[in-house]
Structures are given as C-alpha cells and as structure tokens.
Structure 1
Amino acid sequence: MSEVLSQSEIDALLSAMSSGDLDAEAIQESVGEPQVRPFDFMRPNKFSKDQLRTIELLHETFCRTAQTQLSGVLRALVEIDVVSADQVSYGEFVNSIPAPSLLTIATMEPLDGNAVIDVNLPIVFSIIDRLTGGPGLQRPKARELTEIEHALMGNVTEVLLGAFSEAWSSVVPTRFRRVATEMNPQFAQIVTPAEMVMLITFELRIGAATGSISLCVPYLVLEPVMDRFTAQNYFSNQTGSAPELRDGIASQLDSVRVPLTVELGRAELNVGDLLALQPGDVIPLSIPPGADARVRIGQRDAFFAQPGTRGRRAAVQITGRIEDLERMSV
C-alpha cells in the first residue's frame, strides 16, 4: 500500500485537525512508541496451538491401540487417556522426573534423533506384579529394576512403541525402536537442557492402580516435518487412508473360517415318540418340500436357498438374502 497521501486525503486531514477531531500530539506519541513483542529466550515457543491440538488428536489413537493390546498382555482392564500436550525445555522435563525412573530411549526412523518414554515407577511395579501372577497392588520402595524385571517390562515397552508407531503413521510414517534403557534421568541426555521439546503426558489405569506415561520428542527431531502437524492434514490423512484400511482388513478376513449350516426344517417330538421311532418312519418337517431352506452363518440366518446336489455332494442354491426379502414383505 502506498504511503503517499492524495490531495483529497491531505485536505481531510487538515480539516480534522483544525476542527479538533484529530489530536496531533497523540499522533506523535503513538508514532514514537516502539513496536515490541515480548520474547522469552529461555522458553521460545516452537509449536503453535494448532500443532499441539493435532498432536493430542494423534495420541488419542495411540491410547485406543495401546490399551487394547495391554489389556490382552496383562489380562486386566487397561485405560489410557491423554492428559496434556505441551512444550517445555528438556532441562525442565528431566528435572521433573524422580530418580530412579524407567526411561526408554527410542529412535524415530526415518527422523534423525531420539525420543524418551518415561513410565511412572509405581505403575511399573504394578505391571510386573500382574505379569508374575499377582493382583497388581505391589508398591515397593523406589529402587532400580532387576534384570528379570527389565526383561518383563521389555515386552510391555515393545507394545507401547508399536502403538506409537501406528499412531504416528497417520501423519508421519515413523517407527519407534528401543535403543537404550536408563533408570537415572540425568543419564538420558538426548539434547541440551535448553532445547525445546514436545511433551505428551498420559494417565494409565490398570484396575485400581494408576500411573503416568510421558513421551518427550525434541523439536529438532520434528522440525523437518512440522508442516504436517496441522488439523487439516491430520483429518485428510484419516479420510484418505480409509479405502486402504478397508482393503487391508478385507484381505485379512479372506482366510477366516466361519461355520455355515443349512436348516432343512424343524420338528418337535416328545420323548415317547422319539423312543418309538423305527427304521422307515417319516418325521414331517416344518418346511414343506420345494420351500426355501435357511442358510445360517455362525449364529445368524443370512440366506434362503434351495437344497439339491452337485455331483455326488449335497449342495444348496442361494435364492436371496433373508434381510432383503423380509424387508420387501414388510
């Protein structure tokens, strides 16, 4: 826009000043005021509100996947909810973790750099108690895990890593892979303390036991793909992946075996008639000759069919779907 005023604009400005509608001193004061915006060098904002909201949505998918798989591993009801998604410095994250804690350092291939997953130690002991046959109520004093306990938690950690990989694949194809485990937060230095990180916190409930899980991902790792963390991109990927998801499910269901039976008719007999049956006796069925039989898949009546033979085998010829014909008769 041009900064040169036209003659009509100059005349209007002079007229307003002469009439007192415009204060020249106020204009000079406003022009002289510096145009500044506060900036915190210790905590510079790296993630927008839209990006943080998208990250929350993404990890709601992680919660659904992880709680289903952990319920099968632990044989107990598992619930996981996203508590918050925030940006903090890595030093603040490390200082907020008590020692000892179970920290898993994981790569995020093909992204460069590492992430840290922190599982609250009391819930770790509850998980180990369940895996060894207990009720999951064990609450020992804070201590480092033994080699056997590390091995038991390794299977649980792999479940979490797989769930993270599946959730992130909707935005960025990423594979979380464990590379190290630490019990002292000071030894898990994946970036400098001043570096900003994305911190997602979850609440984990297993029966009566509760705890927390935290995922810490440095901004430097996400910087090359930050433009993908938008709500529009997230929902477009969800919609776009629907046909592929259906095709994948359909291909897996192709090999599933289901019981199929054909009901040629029913009859009710009392015990006396049943005991009196002799070879050659005829039992009249509820379906008369020539009428359609019902084809049942599992426990559900699905088709009408005409019984017959195909070669030397008994067979039926489908004549219609039960739902379609019953809807037409209504």
Structure 2
Amino acid sequence: MSEPILAPEEIEALMAEVGPSEHADAIFAALPPIKQPEKVDKFLFAGSDEDSPERYPMFVNLQERLTEMLDEQWKELFRRDISVHVQELASSVYKDLITTDTPQVYFVFEVEGNGRMMVTFDTAMIVAFVDAMLGGDGESSENPQTLSPVELRLSRRIAEKIGNTLSNLWKPVQPLTFEVYKLDYDPQFLAVTSAMEKCFSTLFDVKISESQTGKLGVHYPRPFLEPMLESLRVTVSDEPSETDTEWTDALMDRLSSTPASLRFELDRCQINIGTFLALKPGDFLPIKTKANDPCKLWIEDIPIFKARPGESDGVLAAELIEPIHSGGKS
C-alpha cells in the first residue's frame, strides 16, 4: 500500500479553512472512508519547448552531417576508426553548460553579425588529440584537470580545424566564418552569452579507443541562430528537386506548335439596329481611337500586346509596342 495522497495534517489544514475545528471535525466524521489507491504515479504536466532543436529539421540534419565530417577527419588524425554519434539534442541554459564536474576545454568562436558560440571537449579528449598530433597512440592514460602550455598551444590548431569544419557545415544554409575567439579550461570568463540565455546544444559521444570515450558539445545561443531560424525550419522534402529538363523541353515543343487565334482590334463602337441597317458604302463608324493611339493585340480572349497599326511591304501590319501584363494593366 502506497502513502495516502494527502497526509492527515494536510487534510486537517484544508478542513480548517472550511469552518471552526468542531464544524470541520463533524463534516469529516460524516464522510465515508475514502479508499486509497494502491499505487500513485508521479504526475508531470505535459509541455513543449518552442526552442527545442527538434522543431528545426534543417538544424537536425546539420548535426548529422557534422557527425560524418568529424568521423572522417578524426579517422585520418588517429589513423584508426573513431566512433562519433549524436547522443542528444537539447535546449540548454548557458549557465548549466559551464557548470560541470567533468574537466572541460572550451573553444569559443565568433561569427561576424551572429555573435559567439561554443564547442566543449572533455579535457582527456584534448590530451588524446594532442598525443595523436605528436605521433603518439592518441590516448590519455590519466584524468587531466588542466592542459600544459604545449597542449594549450596545440589546442588552437584543433580549434581552427573545428572552425573550418563549422564554416563548411553551414555554407549551404548561410555563409558563416567561424573565427577562434578564446580557448580556456576555466569557463568563468568566456563571455559567450548571458547566464540564462537558451542555447541549442548537440552532445556527441566519441569513442577514441576501446578504453577511452569522451563527450563533445556544440552549443549555439539562440540569438546566434536568430537570423537563420526560418531556414532551419525547412524539411528535407522542402528542398528543391532536380528539374526534369527533357520533359520541360518536350512540353515547350508541343506548346510552340499549338495553333492560336490572333486578332488586332482597332476599337469598338455601339450603334442601334436602325443605324446599322441604314449603313451604306462611304459611311463612317463612330470610332473614338485616334490615329496614333495604341490598340490591342488579342489571343483568343486575352489581350497580349499594345500595338500600333501600320504598313509592311504594302500590307497592313501591327507594330508591337509593349506587353500587357496580367490584370489588364500595362
């Protein structure tokens, strides 16, 4: 039997609000026993984070592409297969990202017009990277808390490589140049964004060897992504498909050989039946178009061009002046 939903003192406090204690006791005593449930599960109110990365399909796609790019680069550096996969996409608060018990190395990048973002590595991973760069096995046998001056200096080369990778990653969405702003293992003075700013975070699991794994985090403050959010909402199905030029060319050929009725209309007038029946050679119709006024060239019932009557090789002709756009306005 689980604990009651309300403790006796909580029930007493609620009943005290109903009336004097004697009145409340009388009401409570008159109530039938309430059967307690055998099990009460913890209830969580449902909710959704509008800033969740999953709401932006293109952003998710970019993180999957980043996995492939890093896997390929690090395989070449370590001269063996390195496993990289996305562990989690999350909406995080910046303050929480820099409050961790695991020793981290922080790479801060700046993009003109967008601001700063951050990439985090477990410190042991950076030591393993530096060891591989120096021709070693690419492993860290200890649990380092900080980096040596040599390791910190070589870390900048790692950061520059990451920056180039991120620039290439974002190029199809928006050209961005990721410049290294700061490297540190003390997060207090990174100045990436405000403490409570929301960030889109991608956490990667990296398996360097059978005995060593680590975490990589890529964190974008929301203001950094703001100019690109509309583009990031695009799904794969929204991407333009390849045009079938053969079908288009065949359609244009068929349309080009389709006959159309073309007429050149000088003007229209309205007369009564009596006047019409009385017309004879030499009479004039009351047309209002002046000699130099443009007239309309029609295809079926659609006006296509403004034109001026003229002569070509001894026959009447229509000189095209300008197209008439949709809606009848030129």
Q: Which category describes the TM-score, using the shorter chain as reference length?
A: 0.5 to 0.7
CA distance change for structure 1 residues 92 and 67 in 2, over 3 Å: closer, same or farther? same
> Partner of 1:79 in structure 2?
83
CA contact (8 A) 2:123 2:147 kept: no
Q: 1:197 to 1:135 in 2, by over 3 A?
A: same
Describe the shift of the 1:80–1:48 C-alpha distance in structure 2 as closer, same or farther (beyond 3 A).
Answer: closer
Shift of the alpha carbon at 1:118? 0.3
Q: Quick check: 1:118–1:213 contact (8 Å CA) kept in 2?
A: yes
Q: CA deviation at 1:172?
A: 2.3
Q: Give the structure 1 partner of residue 60 of structure 2.
A: 56
Report deviation, 1:180.
Answer: 0.9
Match of 1:137, as an amino acid? Answer: E
Instruction: Give me the whole-angstrom Cα distance separating, in 1, the residues matched to 2:221 and 2:92.
Output: 10
- Distance change >3 Å, CA 179–CA 189, structure 1 → 2: closer
Change (3 A) 1:175 1:239: farther
- Counterpart of 1:190 in 2: which secondary structure? coil
Contact 2:117 2:192 in 1 (8 A): yes
Residue pair 2:130, 2:155 contacting (<8 A) in 1 also: yes
Shift of 1:238: 7.9
CA distance in 2, matches of 1:168, 1:73: 23
Query: 5 Å matches for 1:200-215?
Result: 200-208=202-210, 209-215=212-218
Superposed CA deviations along residues 271-325 of structure 1, whole A, max 9, x for unmatched, are xxxxxxxxxxxxxxxxxxxxxxxxxxxxxxxxxxxxxxxxxxxxxxxxxxxxxxx
RMSD: 2.6
Whole-angstrom CA distance in 1 between matches of 2:202 and 2:209: 23
CA, structure 1 residues 39+121, in 2 after alignment: closer, same or farther (shift >3 Å)?
Answer: same
- Runs of 4+ aligned structure 1 residues displaced above 3 Å come to 234-240
Q: Deviation of residue 216 (structure 1)?
A: 1.0
1:215 & 1:67 partners in 2: Cα distance? 15
For 1:135 and 1:103, the matched residues in 2 are separated by 24
Contact 1:56 1:84 in 2 (8 A): no
* Structure 1 residue 143 corresponds to structure 2 residue 145: yes
Partner of 1:254: none
Count of aligned pairs between the two proteins: 197
Q: 1:211: Cα distance to partner?
A: 0.9
Structure 1 or 2, whichever has the larger Rg, is 2
SS at match of 1:76: coil
CA distance in 1 between counterparts of 2:95 and 2:232 reads 24
Decide whether the 8 Å contact of 2:163 with 2:178 is kept in 1: yes
Note the C-alpha offset of 1:104: 0.6
Q: Distance in 1 between matches of 2:156 and 2:80?
A: 18
Unaligned runs of 5+ in 1: 1-37, 241-330
Tell whether the 8 Å contact from 1:83 to 1:201 is kept in structure 2 after alignment: yes
Counterparts in 2 of 1:134 and 1:39: CA distance versus 1, 3 Å: same
- Change in CA separation of 1:157 and 1:239 when aligned onto 2, cut-off 3 Å: farther
Q: Which residue of 1 aligns with 2:184?
A: 182
Q: The residue matched to 1:194 in structure 2 has which SS?
A: coil
Matches of residues 150-165 of structure 1 in structure 2 within 5 Å?
Answer: 150-165=152-167
Q: Secondary structure at the match of 1:175?
A: coil
C-alpha spacing 1:147/1:48, structure 2 compared with 1 (3 Å) = closer
Residues 239 and 173 (structure 1), Cα distance of their counterparts in 2 relative to 1, 3 Å cut? farther
* Distance (Å, rounded) in 2 between the aligned partners of 1:153 and 1:48: 29
1:191 maps to 2:186: no
Q: Distance in 1 between matches of 2:154 and 2:129?
A: 9
| Cα-to-partner distance string for 1:82-102 (whole Å, 9 max, x where unaligned) | 11111011112111363x421
Could you list the runs of 5+ residues in structure 2 that have no partner in the other structure?
1-44, 243-330
Alignment partner, residue 12 of structure 1: none
How far has the Cα of 1:78 moved from its partner? 2.1
Pick from 221, 227, 233 the counterpart of residue 224 of structure 2. Answer: 221
Cα distance, 1:135–1:171 mapped onto 2, change above 3 Å: same
- Return the match for 2:100 from 69, 80, 96: 96
Between the aligned residues of both structures, percent identity stands at 17
- For residue 174 of structure 2, give the secondary structure of its aligned residue in structure 1: coil
